[in-house]
Amino acid sequence: MIGGLFIYNHKGEVLISRVYRDDIGRNAVDAFRVNVIHARQQVRSPVTNIARTSFFHVKRSNIWLAAVTKQNVNAAMVFEFLYKMCDVMTAYFGKISEENIKNNFVLIYELLDEILDFGYPQNSETGALKTFITQQGIKGQHQTKEEQSQITSQVTGQIGWRREGIKYRRNELFLDVLESVNLLMSPQGQVLSAHVSGRVVMKSYLSGMPECKFGMNDKIVIDKQGKGGTTDDAGKSGKQSIAIDDCTFHQCVRLSKFDSERSISFIPPDGEYELMRYRTTKDIILPFRVIPLVREVGRTKLEVKVVIKSNFKPSLLAQKIEVRIPTPLNTSGVQVICMKGKAKYKASENAIVWKIKRMAGMKESQISAEIELLPTNDKKKWARPPISMNFEVPFAPSGLKVRYLKVFESKLNYSDHDVIKWVRYIGRSGIYETRC
């Protein structure tokens, strides 16, 4: 298990050091600093073995978090724990920075004592932790016995992510379907790889212990229902359903139920959390198509023409569109002409950045640029990095639709109809690249 946990600033100074196991000596702190933080070469692996001691590290801005062990630990668990640790710290005091860590070091020690026992991760749900790690130390003494046992049963309980007795005057929930669409296209317009990774983020403000059921146009579910219903129905819904390659759920979702019935049922945490993640690769709506044309005119000039086409309903508007056209390192000057938006050559980034605020569906726009090159004797050819694109569209490129989210709370007197529900779809570009 984890033998110790260290936090360093960018200079390699220790900000937090907590050792859980006897086999980790004080020199481990220095070993990591010398061999990883101060190493001359770039870090080649997130796991480093120094003198039979293994170090796992992640970096957040310029802060290093390192877990140390001498045993054959579950490596995936250690990284998951480090991420979780970052989440917890962020939830308590915001951005992870040297300043914040120094200001909250007592709190961090207290957290580390609680969420890691002898190197074994314990309950690390912020919701639960906040009920008893409060930084108002005296509180413990003022709690009633009921309060105390409520805390402990929540921390250890089956529903560790939600406390009892939550009350709202207005029961409300928000569902955000957030997708990032990834594309790698050949210069000829052939899709080399495309996939959507999506998340369903829920903000719930619901009283009591509500039982929820979430439904979407999952092909497997729709097909199953289609068999029971009329053929007409099946035909209609079949078109709109999507094939999900794989999905993962927040720990509140009953996985065995999903596995057997493919229904998504859960008692949600209070406030914002990520209900599920999913991935699709079939029938993806690619919101934009990029058509590049690069011509080398002699040794000192490049002509670049890029056309982008929007491919969705004309009534919808895409926003924050940005096309990034890489330029060679020996570029001396660039002239750009674009029909729409603004384009600029950014020498520091070796790229022409073309920004368009808004663009409706089924439209097309074009940019052309002349790139002057300095003659070089560098034999190595320019690698021609791909043209990348950023955008945001108000629909889900995977085609995912929320069909329902039902809320049941038998003990309190509100029903599914009384809950105000909001659904929003946002599709963003992930790594959206076209080779040129």
Partner 1 sequence: MTDSKYFTTTKKGEIFELKAELNSDKKEKKKEAVKKVIASMTVGKDVSALFPDVVNCMQTDNLELKKLVYLYLMNYAKSQPDMAIMAVNTFVKDCEDPNPLIRALAVRTMGCIRVDKITEYLCEPLRKCLKDEDPYVRKTAAVCVAKLHDINAQLVEDQGFLDTLKDLISDSNPMVVANAVAALSEIAESHPNSNLLDLNPQTINKLLTALNECTEWGQIFILDCLANYTPRDDRESQSICERVTPRLSHANSAVVLSAVKVLMKFMEMLPKDLDYYGTLLKKLAPPLVTLLSAEPELQYVALRNINLIVQKRPEILKHEMKVFFVKYNDPIYVKLEKLDIMIRLASQANIAQVLAELKEYATEVDVDFVRKAVRAIGRCAIKVEQSAERCVSTLLDLIQTKVNYVVQEAIVVIKDIFRKYPNKYESVIATLCENLDSLDEPEARAAMIWIVGEYAERIDNADELLESFLEGFHDESTQVQLQLLTAIVKLFLKKPTETQELVQQVLSLATQDSDNPDLRDRGYIYWRLLSTDPVAAKEVVLAEKPLISEETDLIEPTLLDELICHIGTLASVYHKPPSAFVEGSRGVQHKRLPARAGSGESAESPEVGQSGTSEAPPAVIPSQGDLLGDLLNLDLAPATTTVPSVQPSMQMGAMDLLGGGLDSLPGVSHRTEMQSPQPSSDYSERELGGDIGGSPSMGAALGAPAAMPAALSNAPAVGGGLGDLFDLGGGVGMPTGFYVAPKTLFLPAMKAKGLEISGTFARRGGIIQMDLSLTNKAMSVMTDFAIQFNRNSFGLAPAGPLQVLTPLTPNQTIDVSLPLGTTGPVMKMEPLNNLQVAVKNNIDVFYFSCQYPLSLLFVEDGKMERQVFLATWKDIPNDNEAQFQIKDVHLNSDAASNKLQGSNIFTIAKRTVDAQDMLYQSIKLTNGIWVLAEMRVQTGNPNYTLSIKCRAPEVSQFVYQCYELVLKN
Mark the binding-site residues, compressed into ranges: 342, 346, 355
**Residue type at 14?**
V
- Site map (CB under 8 A) of partner 1, residues 163-202, x = contact: ---------------------x-------xx-x-x-----
Smaller CB separation from partner 1, 152 or 332: 152
Length of the chain: 436
Within positions 320 to 379, which residues make up the interface with partner 1, using CB under 8 A?
Answer: 379
| Subset of 113-132 contacting partner 1 (CB under 8 A) | 113, 117-118, 120-125, 132
**What CA–CA distance (Å, rounded) separates 52 from 55?**
10
Nearer to partner 1, 153 or 366 (CB): 153
Helix (H) or strand (E) holding 77: helix 75-93
Task: Concatenate the DSSP letters of all residues of 358-395 into one string.
Answer: EEETT-EEEEEEEEEE------SPP--PPEEEEEEESS
SS3 for 127-194 is HHHHHHCCCCCCHHHHCCHHHHHHHHHHHHCCCCCCCCCCCCCCCEEEEEEEEEEEEEECCCCCEEEE
If the CB atoms of residues 195 and 340 are measured against partner 1, the closer one turns out to be 195
In the complex with partner 1, the residue whose CB is nearer, 143 or 368, is 143
Contacts (CB under 8 A) with partner 1, residues 23-82: 23, 26, 29, 42-47, 49, 52, 54, 56-58, 69-77, 79-82
DSSP assignment letter at 316? -
- CB nearer partner 1, residue 91 or residue 106: 106
Among 62, 105, 374, 412, binds partner 1 (CB under 8 A): 105
Confirm or reject binding of residue 234 to partner 1 (CB under 8 A). Answer: no
Q: x/- binding map, residues 136-155, to partner 1, per CB under 8 A?
A: -xxxxx-x-x--xx-xxx-x
Distances (CA, A) of 367 to 322, 334, 352, 436: 12, 12, 10, 15
For position 157 contacting partner 1 by CB under 8 A, the verdict is yes
Nearer to partner 1 by Cβ, of 160 and 399: the residue is 160
Could you identify the residue written with the tokens 């990348």?
388
Cα separation, 323 vs 332, in Å, equals 21
Separation of alpha carbons 58 and 47, rounded Å: 10
408 counts as binding partner 1 under rule CB under 8 A: no
- Binding partner 1 by CB under 8 A: which of 211, 258, 363, 421? 258
